[in-house]
Structure 1
């Protein structure tokens, strides 16, 4: 039996469509290919983005910047010395891009002009740190990628 060029094209198109359909079904149902968002409240955070822009602008206007320092106890976050320690309120969020289970958030409570993130909470690798705090009704936001 001889196959003509028209029949060959139809067979090729059907084979290609079957292959693509197989890939779509495999990627949709296989647990190895999970499609998680970075956060569950993605759209809510998108609406609050202008507040983040304003808080980052407030941080840039400071004369003394926030600094991160690695020490034997952990990660030391030093706030500008002009801030009164008792009036700083906020949170530190550490996000691990490679593993969602390692993400954690700690409230800011300073005894001096710094906050210490314990060494045992930070595994070696890449972290995204987001420090949002308020001092005298002014919001500040610090974001940075760091390798610990």
Structure 2
């Protein structure tokens, strides 16, 4: 019986370590449990429009009375400023943990208010983004929400 010398032992250890690392890489890239999406599919186009987003946020911050968001067990109540008319736009609820739980709702107001029922929401963290326009001026309101059912 022949003994294994130091050189052969080091080569075997390196080969085992490399095999383990390759196995982990393949496992992580093919397992659905580790599937993470990009924040957005068209991130480059959104970066190009970032200055417009900053201007819209500044417009929203300069309002005397900004949007009010109230959470309740029934859902999310969004109250728009009463002095603004002809409001159009979109409400986005972005779920950082799962792209499939994102919600996009066009703004439809009744007495300057909009309601999103809790049946559409899953418990957890959402990033609320309201992109709206009134009389040619764009506004952007952002807020982090924690939904509890």
In which range does the TM-score fall when normalised by the shorter chain?
0.7 to 0.9
Aligned twin of 1:80: 81
Inter-partner Cα distance in structure 2 for 1:114 and 1:73: 15
Pair 1:13–1:79, CA change in 2 (3 A): same
Q: Give the corresponding residue for 1:45.
A: 46
Question: Could you tell me how far 1:82 is from its partner in structure 2?
Answer: 1.9
Structure 1 distance, partners of 2:96, 2:80, is 25
> How many residues in Structure 1 have an aligned counterpart in Structure 2?
146
C-alpha distance in 2 between matches for 1:28 and 1:11 = 26
TM-score, normalised by the number of residues in structure 2? 0.86
Q: Which moved more, 1:96-105 or 1:61-70?
A: 96-105
What RMSD in Å do the two structures reach over aligned CA positions? 1.8
Unaligned runs of 5+ in 2: none
Aligned residue in 1 for 2:16: 15
8 Å Cα contact 2:37-2:99 kept in structure 1: no
1:132 match: 131
The runs of 4+ residues in structure 1 deviating greater than 6 Å are none
Q: Deviations over 1:85-134 (max 9, x none)?
A: xx111000112233322222111121212211123212332221110001
Change (3 A) 1:83 1:21: same
Measured after TM superposition, the shift of residue 56 of structure 1 is: 0.9
**Alignment deviations for residues 40-76 of structure 1 (CA, whole Å, 9 cap, x no partner):** 2222222222211111111112221211112454211
- For 2:72 and 2:3, the matched residues in 1 are separated by 77
1:126, 1:32 → 2: CA distance?
A: 20
| Cα distance, 1:32 vs structure 2 | 2.5
Unaligned runs of 5+ residues in structure 1 are: none
Deviates more, 1:1-10 or 1:100-109: 1-10
User: Secondary structure of the residue that 2:51 maps to in structure 1?
Assistant: helix
What is the rounded CA distance, in whole Å, between the counterparts of 1:44 and 1:28 in structure 2?
27
